[in-house]
């Protein structure tokens, strides 16, 4: 028998934390090696973490909804078998508890004073040092003291340390901020997770920003620091739609459903080849621009939990049917929150297809550190002058936003001109070079 403290492994590049979605077993449960124990959600995906070996789960260190930093204890585990791989055995802390009242009329010892909360997860470590006022502030703001480095004597966490962590919590998800909503004091018993009060109609309610929504919020905060310039066009999409109809009929025979989006991606990648400054990322800390050879185009996808941007790898080298298949796969994965990290990171340009919600025009926000984004609205009938005569044509609204630190209005205009020409005359897409 050995006691193992299972810590949140690094389940992906650059992710500092994960949120506990659900415990799949209760404390006290016997589990087999590799049996899923807990579902955690990172900014990118939901992952089930398995038991490291056969044994008994003795303690769950967090409740559902808690955000835990990589490396912090998730559960304590008494291994009965072998197979404990990359986990470290630790002595198990046994929180002393006051005696239970008499049972069967047997006399009972009086309760003894015990530290109300033993050191979380494993003994041999002192309780985190912090004054009550500091603890209160940390709880209010969902900051886990155990994850902070105290600047006071003996590593005591002082108010300023918590305030600094609160400020850091607003930074983008670069691993700088790792916070948990409830400091989980070691309770001997499994307690029901503290849930915020249910909403009552007409009641003000405070809800912590968690999970994907928080990731989106951080990303948007980062996006907002980018000086945007946005250009709008309404482009004649009559030819594009005609091409789409033809291709769609052909694809259906192959059993493939083809939307307009793969054609728009193709137009974007062609335009990016001709304007490589738009397929770039900007690092202001290093004051460096990276012009990317590959065209990895992100497609913003709405999910019930929030926005996810899966990436079409090497979109410039894929055929239209190939793009369609990949978009379908990524879309399904995004909705199920099952996409691996490589499908949701490292884009070089983003497309927001807000036409799918019926939007006419919008202002897309750049997915920093990228430098540009193209948004497409819904194609509609519009009266436009054709050879000086009003005519009803199919019109596609588009908006392209660019990072003004890198791109001037003139360049943006040129890019949008190219995009317009490719959409207006889609046969040009056949002349695209690799």
Q: Which residues bind other proteins (CB under 8 A)?
A: 63, 91, 93-94, 96-102, 105-119, 123-127, 129-132, 135-136, 139-142, 152-154, 156, 181-185, 187-198, 200, 204-206, 208
Q: Is 331 helix (H, G, I), strand (E, B) or coil?
A: helix
Residue 233 β-bridge partners: 398
Which residue number, 130 or 235, has a Cβ lying nearer to other proteins?
130
Shortest reach from residue 75's CB to other proteins, in Å: 17
Q: Which of 141, 228, 292, 404 is catalytic?
A: 404
Instruction: Tell me what percent of the chain is helix, strand and coil, each rounded to the nearest 5.
Output: 30, 25, 45
Following DSSP, what letter does each residue of 254-318 receive, concatenated?
A: TT----SHHHHHHHHHHHHHH-GGGSEEEETTTTEEEE-SS--EEE-EEETTEEE--EETTGGGS
Burial status of residue 206 (CB atoms within 10 A of its CB: 0-12, 13-18, 19 or more): exposed
Shortest reach from residue 186's CB to other proteins, in Å: 10
Q: Are 263 and 243 in contact (CB under 8 A)?
A: yes
Shortest reach from residue 15's CB to other proteins, in Å: 24
Interacting residues of 127 by C-beta distance below 8 A, sequence separation 6+: 115, 117, 118, 119
Shortest reach from residue 96's CB to other proteins, in Å: 7
Shortest reach from residue 124's CB to other proteins, in Å: 3
The C-alpha atoms of residue 415 and residue 244 are separated, in whole angstroms, by: 23
The C-alpha atoms of residue 189 and residue 303 are separated, in whole angstroms, by: 36
Interior angle at CA 206, CA 200 and CA 209, nearest 5: 125
The C-alpha atoms of residue 217 and residue 220 are separated, in whole angstroms, by: 5
Which residue number, 158 or 263, has a Cβ lying nearer to other proteins?
158
The C-alpha atoms of residue 60 and residue 182 are separated, in whole angstroms, by: 13
Distances (CA, A) of 110 to 101, 102, 136, 215: 8, 10, 30, 49
Shortest reach from residue 3's CB to other proteins, in Å: 12
292 is an active site residue: no
Which residue number, 207 or 286, has a Cβ lying nearer to other proteins?
207
Q: Which two tokens stand for residue 113?
A: 């004073």
Which residue number, 189 or 430, has a Cβ lying nearer to other proteins?
189
Count how many Cα atoms sit within 13 Å of the Cα of residue 37 in the half-sphere of its side chain: 30
Which residue number, 106 or 286, has a Cβ lying nearer to other proteins?
106
Shortest reach from residue 177's CB to other proteins, in Å: 17
Number of residues written out for the chain? 434
Which residue number, 61 or 419, has a Cβ lying nearer to other proteins?
61
The C-alpha atoms of residue 336 and residue 124 are separated, in whole angstroms, by: 41
Which residue number, 188 or 386, has a Cβ lying nearer to other proteins?
188
Active site residues: 404
């Amino acid at each position: 028998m050995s006691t193992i403290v299972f810590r949140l492994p690094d389940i992906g590049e650059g992710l500092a934390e994960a949120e506990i979605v659900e415990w799949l077993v209760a404390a006290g449960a016997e589990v087999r090696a590799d049996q899923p124990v807990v579902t955690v959600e990172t900014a990118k995906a939901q992952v089930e973490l398995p038991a490291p070996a056969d044994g008994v789960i003795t303690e769950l260190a967090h409740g559902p909804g808690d955000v835990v930093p990589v490396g912090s204890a998730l559960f304590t585990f008494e291994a009965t078998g072998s197979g404990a791989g990359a986990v470290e055995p630790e002595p198990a802390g046994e929180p002393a508890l006051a005696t239970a009242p008499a049972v069967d009329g047997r006399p009972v010892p009086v309760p003894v004073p015990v530290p109300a909360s033993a050191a979380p997860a494993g003994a041999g470590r002192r309780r985190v040092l912090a004054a009550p006022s500091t603890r209160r502030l940390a709880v209010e703001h969902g900051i886990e003291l155990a994850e902070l480095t105290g600047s006071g004597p003996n590593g005591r966490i002082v108010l300023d340390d918590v305030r600094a962590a609160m400020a850091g919590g607003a930074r983008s998800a670069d691993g700088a901020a790792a916070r948990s909503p409830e400091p989980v004091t070691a309770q001997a018993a499994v307690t029901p997770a503290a849930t915020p009060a249910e909403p009552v109609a007409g009641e003000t309610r405070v809800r912590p920003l968690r999970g994907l929504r928080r990731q989106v919020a951080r990303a948007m905060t980062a996006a907002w620091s980018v000086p945007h310039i946005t250009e709008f066009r309404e482009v004649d999409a009559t030819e594009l739609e005609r091409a789409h109809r033809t291709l769609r009929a052909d694809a259906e025979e192959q059993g493939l459903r083809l939307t307009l989006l793969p054609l728009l991606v193709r137009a974007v990648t062609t335009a990016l080849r001709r304007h490589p400054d738009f397929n770039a990322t900007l690092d202001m800390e290093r004051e460096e621009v990276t012009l990317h050879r590959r065209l990895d185009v992100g497609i913003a996808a709405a999910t019930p939990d929030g926005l996810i941007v899966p990436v079409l790898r090497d979109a410039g080298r894929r055929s239209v049917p190939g793009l369609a298949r990949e978009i379908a796969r990524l879309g399904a994965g995004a909705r199920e929150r099952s996409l691996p990290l490589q499908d949701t990171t490292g884009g070089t340009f983003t497309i927001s297809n807000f036409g799918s919600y019926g939007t006419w025009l919008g202002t897309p926000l750049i997915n920093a550190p990228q430098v540009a984004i193209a948004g497409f609205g819904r194609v509609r009938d519009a009266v436009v002058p054709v050879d000086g005569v009003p005519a009803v044509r199919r019109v596609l609204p588009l908006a392209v936003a660019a990072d003004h630190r890198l791109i001037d209005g003139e360049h943006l205009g040129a890019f949008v001109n190219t995009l317009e020409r490719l959409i207006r005359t889609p046969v040009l897409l056949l002349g695209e070079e690799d």
